[in-house]
Amino acid sequence: MNLVDSCAWIEYARNEGNAGFFSSSIENLSELIVPTICLYEVFKKISQESGEKDAMTVIVHMKLGRVVEFDSTLALEAARISKERRLAMADSIIYATTLKFNATLWTQDDHFEGLPSVQFKAKPKAKK
């Protein structure tokens, strides 16, 4: 199973530097899980920058995977992970979902770098 972090979805949607790194995990719909927190983050960011139409285009693709609801069991596990790993709330929910489904988390968010079950690729530096 693959879980694509919100920042990776946005990178893919914008076709920016690491889009190719994330494409196989995004396009393999039978193995894709999508936490509802990722729907929130991606919709918010893309709609702010490009409008709701563009945001909904990405959301429609995301919803082709298996959407994972945030329930009480996941909430408690995310809280434990947040405390142990010092992750922010959304990151701990994403990581808890990754672990629950024995998935691989695909990300360019350095908060996850070095954690088990994570495929991390640093965001390319902006050209000057």
- pLDDT > 90? residue 89: yes
Rg (CA), the chain: 14
pLDDT band at 125 (very low <50, low <70, confident <90, very high): confident
pLDDT in tens, 9-57: 999 999 999 999 999 999 999 999 999 999 999 999 999 999 999 999 9
Return the CATH number of the domain spanning residue range 2-120.
3.40.50.1010
- In the chain, domain spans: 2-120
If you search the block for the tokens 């990405």, which residue do you land on?
58
pLDDT in tens, 49-82: 999 999 999 999 999 999 999 999 999 999 999 9
